[in-house]
Amino acid sequence: DIQVTQSPSSLSASVGDTVTITCRASQSINDYLNWYQQKPRKAPNLLIYGGSNLQSGVPSRFSGRRSGTDFTLTISSLQPEDFATYYCQQSYTSPWTFGQGTKVEIK
Amino acid sequence: QVTLRESGPALVQPTQTLTLTCTFSGFSLTTSKMSVSWIRQPPGKALEWLARIDWDDDKYYSTSLKTNVTISKDTSKNEVVLTMTNVDPVDTATYYCARGLRWYDYWGQGTLVTVSS
């Protein structure tokens, strides 16, 4: 199975900060990497698909990039509603797999 | 409007078989490139992908669970069913169904299943 290693596992940031979360795939997955946001007791919400494509309705402060097997999710100008847990998911080869999550907390 | 809803028992005894149903609307699993998956999340832990069924009835399973899990669909009822045999307390989790082939744009609200005697 393809592993996706997400880092950091948690981070503290302030409103207005720029935050970057990384996922590293265990092998090449082209652009088949997706990002989700999950708030407590809620289902995940798709933010980015195909490495860098912004899902409809998601604010433009969220962006995704790929460099080889490393993928980054960047949140520019963090807003209060962005404090949540973020997951990456690879969809290059079945079985799909998720990263371990990054919890973004208020500093 | 796309919706998905999971249903099933809240409590299951160890070694029993768990059956969960995902009832959806707003799309059809007879449409090309359409797919529904099951994903679970133990309390306080990460998401875990379990299984996927495609419009053409292709099925895919988690490597670690494939001997215990079966996914099926009933297109006439707009339902996808997940069956998990010989459950264990480690299978306690919120179980989600979600729509999508390579990414999930719609999710159900999830159903919490506790495995305990």
Please report the number of interchain residue pairs, chain A to chain B, with beta-carbon separation below 8 angstroms: 58
Which tens digits make up the pLDDT trace of B51-94? 999 999 999 999 999 899 999 999 999 999 999 999 999 999 99
Mean pLDDT of B1-21: 98
DSSP A30: T
Q: Is the pLDDT of residue B5 over 90?
A: yes
**Dist CA B81 CA B86 (whole Å):** 17
Whether residue B46 and residue A36 make contact (CB cut-off 8 A), yes or no, is no
pLDDT exceeding 70 applies to what percent of chain B?
100
pLDDT, residue B66, reads 87
Half-sphere exposure of B13 (CA within 13 A, CB side): 2
Q: Are B55 and B73 in contact (CB under 8 A)?
A: no
Contact B60 A89 (CB under 8 A): no
Q: Give residues with Cβ within 8 angstroms of B30, minimum separation 6.
A: B55, B75
- Distance separating alpha carbons of residues B76 and B105, to the nearest angstrom: 23
Nearest residue to A58 via CA among A34, A40, A33, A23: A34
* Tens-digit pLDDT profile for residues A41-99: 999 999 999 999 999 999 999 999 999 999 999 999 999 999 999 999 999 999 999 99
Contact B107 A43 (CB under 8 A): yes
Contacts of B37 in chain A (CB under 8 A): 96
Taking CB atoms and an 8 Å limit, are A46 and B48 in contact across chains?
Answer: no
Nearest to B50 by CA among B91, B105, B7, B8: B91
Give the three-state DSSP class for B106: strand
Q: Is B55 exposed, middle or buried (0-12, 13-18, 19+ CB in 10 A)?
A: middle
Assess A54–B contact: CB distance below 8 Å, yes or no: no
| Interchain contact, B103 vs A49, CB within 8 Å | yes
A50 touches chain B (CB under 8 A): yes
